[in-house]
Structure 1
């Protein structure tokens, strides 16, 4: 894994392109889709037409669900509060096939407001939209996030 998730900086993003699911851990700025970003390899608008080139450029940031699950289980005993778990919750879901971006980003940076024309952007819980085999937070048959929430006396 090239980058480790870091709260509100380096985020976990789920991407669907041509019916193929991928996880990435990247800097957050890449995902303001309709805004020209200096560090987005000259891609002014990230949409269904430019996605393949962009994803090729960030291929070294791609991670598997298995890697993310292993990371969660490795770190499980080191969490001291639920706040430390937050950086491992996927922040953004981008479906280039259906032209949709859903955000769960925990800070007031509204990625959902920066989508290309014709796209839908929404701040919503998208975890159920993730294919079951890609839900890296399902550990030992249940939600790691729920386990940690309960461990720290809260309900997710």
Structure 2
């Protein structure tokens, strides 16, 4: 595990590609699918509050260099670049258990709640990210994005928040993914 989940910084993302599901823990900024739309939105917001001639440039992470729009055409390159952030379900489960022993339940809840679910096969993004960073607002033209509870879309064997006895360790699903 290269990065640890950390609320509002390093997020947990589920990615489905060719019916193969994988978890990633990565910096949150990697997952704005259409960086051009994000940049345009910031420029518009600056102009609305009276700031003119502001050149806004979203910092490009190495994993996104040369990829302004993540879509079905560019995801293959991106997936190769983010492999270092992939993490197994069992690894996440064990790290979650350790955090429950060493940190507050509230901190653990917010750090381990999956933030995004990206289904490349259907060109869909679902967000549970708790802050105003609206990933679903910056979608490629033929994608659908929404802010909604996606936990039921994940296969049971991939749900790291369940222990070996089938107990939801953080009560994610009984709370609708929200506290």
Aligned to 2:9: 9
Aligned to 2:128: 104
Runs of at least 5 residues in structure 2 that lack an aligned partner in the other structure? 37-57
Aligned to 1:43: 67
Whether 2:165 is the aligned partner of 1:132: answer: no
The structural deviation recorded for 1:79 is 2.8
The structural deviation recorded for 1:101 is 0.3
Aligned to 2:140: 116
Whether 2:166 is the aligned partner of 1:141: answer: yes
The structural deviation recorded for 1:81 is 4.0
Whether 2:118 is the aligned partner of 1:94: answer: yes
Distance 2:157 2:71 in 1: 25
CA contact (8 A) 1:79 1:85 kept: no
* Equivalent of residue 72 in structure 1, options 96, 99, 102: 96
The structural deviation recorded for 1:85 is 2.0
CA contact (8 A) 2:16 2:22 kept: yes
* Equivalent of residue 85 in structure 2, options 24, 46, 61: 61
1:138 aligned counterpart, secondary structure: coil
- When the two chains are superposed, the root-mean-square deviation of aligned CA atoms in Å is 1.9
CA contact (8 A) 1:41 1:54 kept: no
CA contact (8 A) 2:12 2:112 kept: yes
What is the TM-score when the length of structure 2 is the normalising length? 0.79
CA shift digits 1:42-86 (9 cap, x unpaired): 111101111111010010100000100010112222232414421
What is the TM-score when the length of structure 1 is the normalising length? 0.90
